[in-house]
Amino acid sequence: MQLREAVAKRYLKAGGVSVPEGHLCRSGTEAREAARTIGLPVAVKAQLKQWGRGKAGLVRRCETLASVEEAFASVQRSATRDEGRATEPVACLVERWIPGMREVYLAEMVDPEIGGSTLLFSRSGGVDIEAASALARLLVPVSTGVTPFHVRRVLADYGLPGTVAPDLGRLLASVNDLFTQWDMRLLEINPLGWSVDAGFVALDAKIVVDDNALARHPELGDRYREEAIDDPSDELRIEHGIEYVALDGEVGLISGGAGMTMAVMDLIGKQGGRPRCFLDCSQNATSAGYGHALDTLFGDPRTRSVLVNIVGGGTQVDQVASIFVDLLAARRRAGELPKPFFIRLEGTNSDLAKEILRANGLPWFDSLEEAVASAVRAAAVSV
Amino acid sequence: MSILVDRSTRVVIQGITGRRGRSMAKDMRSYGTQVVAGVSPGHGGEIVEGVPVFDFVDDAVRSTGANTALVLVPGLPGGLAAITETALSGVELAVWLADPVPIHDMIRLMALLPRTGMRLVGPNSPGLMSPGRAKVGFMPTQCYAPGPVGVVSKSGSLSYEVSLRLTRRGLGQSTVVGIGGDPVKGTGLADVVRMFEADPDTRLILVLGEVGGTEEYELARLVASGEIRKPVVALIVGATAPTGKKLGHAGAMMFRGREGFLPKVRALEVAGVRVADSLTTVADVVAEHLGPAPAGEARR
């Protein structure tokens, strides 16, 4: 789960990292008022989670109050959002513009290759983490945390005077404490500003929290829900344990296990179709979980056929068969027009599942390929 | 032989008194696995499915000679403590099924494990299967048959699907290892491939990988350097996955281009790994590269 800049900065501030004075605004008038309070010039920054906001025209520097309102309006035009959210304004963070800062790069991330936390740093701020090869890396051992060595190393790369070492030491310690305490996968301050007068200031902030640890931080989940403009797939994940990512295609997929789900997506592609989504329901392989998954796809106008593929190990697929039989019956009773629906089950208790599906008039597929072919064909003919 | 689990495996199940623990104890015993002990704090002295239950893992190990722990404890709240207890108990191997597990807890555990001598498989593992010898996990038994193909997979259900395709084609498995899809995990792809290389029962190594992460590159290095001499076949899923999105497995979070599909497939092919073009053809590619059975294999 990625926190938006304004939320991320709240955590940084609480953890002892300086951030520019700023206000979250939901209208041009609010933005203008905030700029008046803070003092010009200000930055107007769209609170969207996409990366590369600067290039997309979603961050603007404003020198007059009129241009603040103009920037808020312009951000609304530049923002690309989910269709369902188009009526709400994109909130903007209006922030003091601090002049004369040197901009460097600082991040801490979990590095799977070494199985630990790593500091990433560079004297050039503003670079993209995608260009990670340009960044220096330094392991932060669990046993020691940030040491004076880390501070010296980063300071040398930044090319800042030795007198800054105590400030940088406090900053790195704060970053590592926040990173560990809040179960972050990424804490990126890019750019990190520095000037003689202001010291270090986090000019931008990107925090990705480990979803696997949300149960340890209920306040993060709550705070997150309070923030209005969020991705519906985050809601499915957090509220219902369903991993859902919308894609461009038309074949709706309900699957179990990430690898298996991707394998089915690839087969849909091989057979000339396009998957509408990645949807992994294995964390919530229950009537409620599958029901939410089905509602998501049946309610989505771009989904033209629905394919369920569950290969059960711990999940008993005869139960999956019964669940879907009931879910479909309930929707028929409610008078909903079902989309073309195909279910392929394999694994634990598949012989029982076969009987259940056949008794309820649903076709049985001996192979995944046959089921995929049927779903792709149905998506091509139905409109 | 086979790797990690076989007929000498003596299993202690941590969390045996739950519904899942009971049913897994029963299922694994019916497969022929020696389930010798269970652990559930506060339940010491009970008997579950004919298995004695202890309050502590080390007590279970001392009393029963258990050498392998199957850990059913979830990631939160008690996972870190449970695996620490396992690691200090003297067992050689722990298989951890839990998902989700916080990544920072895995970092903490990986700092501890090398000092204890215990190998951890998982988290987010479906378990380990040496067909005809031992099952430690919840894989669907019907998908497997004994044979010469060593399988290692990041994805549980994909490994069931592929094993079933191998079995239907008459290609049995030495051991099927689900290492789990988490980015920080106890046992990596390369670790398992090295074990298969040293295992006389394994004639071909099948790797089920996916977009995200960089473990496949380590495999490519091992094959290119000649450290792995057995034929290696791979299936990489996620050709249609969009870049920069996280798809389920936390491991599939793609920051860098080389974690994408094509660069991975190319690196493996250049190293000499045969990459199947889809699930549909993977069993054919395995059959093609398996080669004839050496004399004596028929005894199994």
pLDDT per position as a tens digit, A178-220: 999 999 999 999 999 999 999 999 999 999 899 889 889 988 8
pLDDT at A93 over 90: yes
| Helix A287-298 × helix A232-240 angle, to 10° | 170
* From A54-68, A234-248, B35-49, the region with the lowest mean pLDDT: A234-248
The predicted-structure confidence for B114-155, as pLDDT tens digits, reads as follows 999 999 999 999 999 999 999 999 999 999 999 999 999 999
- Can you give the pLDDT at residue A237? 78
pLDDT at A49 over 80: no
pLDDT at A118 over 60: yes
Q: Is A2 helix (H, G, I), strand (E, B) or coil?
A: strand
Q: Is A157 helix (H, G, I), strand (E, B) or coil?
A: helix
Instruction: Say if A132 is an interface residue toward chain B (CB within 8 Å).
Output: yes
Residue numbers in A near B97 (CB within 8 A)? 314
* From A230-234, A235-239, A358-362, the region with the lowest mean pLDDT: A230-234
Q: Which residue of A has its CA nearest to B123?
A: A212
The predicted-structure confidence for B151-176, as pLDDT tens digits, reads as follows 999 999 999 999 999 999 999 999 99
Instruction: Say if A370 is an interface residue toward chain B (CB within 8 Å).
Output: no
- Can you give the pLDDT at residue B252? 42
How many CA atoms lie less than 13 Å away from B104 in the CB half-sphere? 23
Residue numbers in B near A266 (CB within 8 A)? 237-240, 278-279
Which has more pLDDT, B123 or A383?
Answer: B123
Cβ of A215 within 8 Å of Cβ of B251? The answer is no
> Which residue blocks in chain A are alpha helix, DSSP H?
5-14, 28-38, 65-78, 148-158, 165-181, 218-226, 232-240, 258-270, 287-298, 317-333, 350-359, 368-381
Q: Which of residues 118-177 of B touch A (CB under 8 A)?
A: 126, 137-140, 142-143, 153-158, 160-161, 164
Residue A24: strand pairing partners: A93
How sure is the predictor about A337, in pLDDT bands with cuts at 50, 70 and 90?
confident
Distance (Å) from the C-alpha of residue A280 to the closest C-alpha of chain B? 7
Mean of the pLDDT values across residues B260-272? Answer: 95
How many CA atoms lie less than 13 Å away from B48 in the CB half-sphere? 27
Distance (Å) from the C-alpha of residue B255 to the closest C-alpha of chain A? 6
Distance (Å) from the C-alpha of residue B260 to the closest C-alpha of chain A? 13
Residue numbers in B near A314 (CB within 8 A)? 20, 97, 126, 138
Cβ of B142 within 8 Å of Cβ of A347? The answer is yes
For an interface test with A, the pick among B72, B240, B279 (most A C-beta atoms closer than 10 Å) comes out as: B240
Percent of chain A residues past pLDDT 70, beyond the cut: 93
Q: Which residue of B has its CA nearest to A133?
A: B256
For an interface test with B, the pick among A113, A212, A369 (most B C-beta atoms closer than 10 Å) comes out as: A212
Is-contact A111 A137, C-beta < 8 A?
Answer: yes
Cβ of B142 within 8 Å of Cβ of A283? The answer is no
- Can you give the pLDDT at residue B248? 58
Kindly list the distances between the CA atom of residue A327 and the CA atoms of A54, A247, A330, A364, B84, in Å, as whole numbers in the listed order. 46, 24, 5, 18, 42
Distance, CA of B178 to CA of B97 (rounded, Å): 10
Q: Which residue of A has its CA nearest to B72?
A: A314
Which has more pLDDT, A306 or A235?
Answer: A306
The predicted-structure confidence for A198-209, as pLDDT tens digits, reads as follows 999 999 999 989
* Beta pairing class for A2-3 and A42-46: unpaired
Q: What is chain B's mean pLDDT, rounded?
A: 93
Instruction: Say if A369 is an interface residue toward chain B (CB within 8 Å).
Output: yes
Long-range contacts, B42-46 (Cβ 8 Å, 24+): B43/B17, B46/B17
The predicted-structure confidence for A101-112, as pLDDT tens digits, reads as follows 999 999 999 988
The predicted-structure confidence for B31-69, as pLDDT tens digits, reads as follows 999 999 999 999 999 999 999 999 999 999 999 999 999
Residue positions of B annotated with a catalytic role: 249
Q: Provide the strand spans (E) within A47-134.
A: 59-62, 92-96, 102-111, 116-122
Q: Which residue of B has its CA nearest to A278?
A: B247
Cβ of B241 within 8 Å of Cβ of A278? The answer is yes
Question: Side chain identity at B35, as an amino acid letter?
Answer: V
Distance, CA of B251 to CA of A252 (rounded, Å): 23
How sure is the predictor about A129, in pLDDT bands with cuts at 50, 70 and 90?
low
Interface contacts A/B by beta carbons within 8 Å: 181
pLDDT at B228 over 70: yes
pLDDT at A291 over 80: yes
Instruction: Say if A163 is an interface residue toward chain B (CB within 8 Å).
Output: no
Q: Is A54 helix (H, G, I), strand (E, B) or coil?
A: coil
